[in-house]
């Protein structure tokens, strides 16, 4: 059974509705430039009211160790999603404490060369590349590349342009561990 992650939670009602629908994980975006940004204190207010089996994911992009640690001091997160150009070293710093999801923005097959550097992460999230946006683009990418990424043996979370009219096909073609929906 493919798991489902909703990203960009900002309202308690939405988070509780998602949990009631059986969503496996909820993403809270701690990137101030994002329109889906949520302050850590507001996120914790939602997190504290979620059912215990919903995975709480903090989404970060090119933030330093201190910024991430400051959020962790406030929020009870289960996993960290690194959505920028974070080094393997930075990701590894948090891997002993939290589950790690590393995002790769898929433009072409060159991202495949980077995956082995992150062989310690719990999952990789594949999102469509956009030169100015880091997620929430509403655009899909060549799912053949996602199938190739599965060869590394790390669970795949498929993202990027997933909508009601294509999500079934995406699941059939890629067979991901999970799908991540934000703008779709």
- Catalytic residue numbers? 7, 127
Instruction: Report whether 148 contacts 112 (CB < 8 A).
Output: yes
Could you give the residue ranges of the DSSP H alpha helices within 75-111? Answer: 88-95
Please, which residues have CB within 8 angstroms of residue 55's CB and are 6 or more apart in sequence?
5, 24, 25, 26, 78, 79, 99
Closest alpha carbon to 53 in 87, 20, 93? 20
* Region of residue 27 (left: phi > 0; alpha: psi -120 to 50; beta: else): beta
Residue with tokens 């795949």: 156
Distance between start and end Cα atoms, the chain = 20
* Token output for 74: 């406030």
Instruction: Report whether 157 contacts 177 (CB < 8 A).
Output: yes
């Amino acid at each position: 059974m493919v798991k489902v992650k909703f990203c960009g939670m900002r309202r308690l009602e939405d988070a509780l509705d998602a949990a009631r629908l059986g969503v496996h994980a909820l993403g809270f975006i701690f990137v101030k430039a994002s329109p889906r940004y949520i302050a850590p204190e507001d996120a914790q207010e939602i997190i504290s009211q979620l059912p215990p089996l919903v995975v709480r994911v903090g989404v970060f992009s090119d933030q330093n160790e201190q910024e991430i640690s400051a959020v962790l001091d406030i929020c009870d997160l289960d996993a960290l999603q690194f959505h920028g150009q974070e080094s393997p070293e930075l990701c590894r710093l948090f891997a002993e404490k939290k589950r790690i999801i590393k995002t790769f923005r898929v433009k072409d097959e060159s991202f495949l060369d980077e995956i082995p550097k992150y062989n310690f992460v719990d999952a990789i999230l594949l999102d469509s590349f956009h030169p100015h946006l880091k997620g929430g683009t509403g655009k899909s990418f060549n799912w053949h590349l996602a199938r190739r990424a599965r060869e590394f043996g790390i669970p795949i979370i498929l993202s990027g342009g997933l909508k009601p009219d294509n999500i079934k096909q995406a699941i059939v073609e890629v067979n991901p561990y999970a799908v991540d929906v934000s703008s779709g």
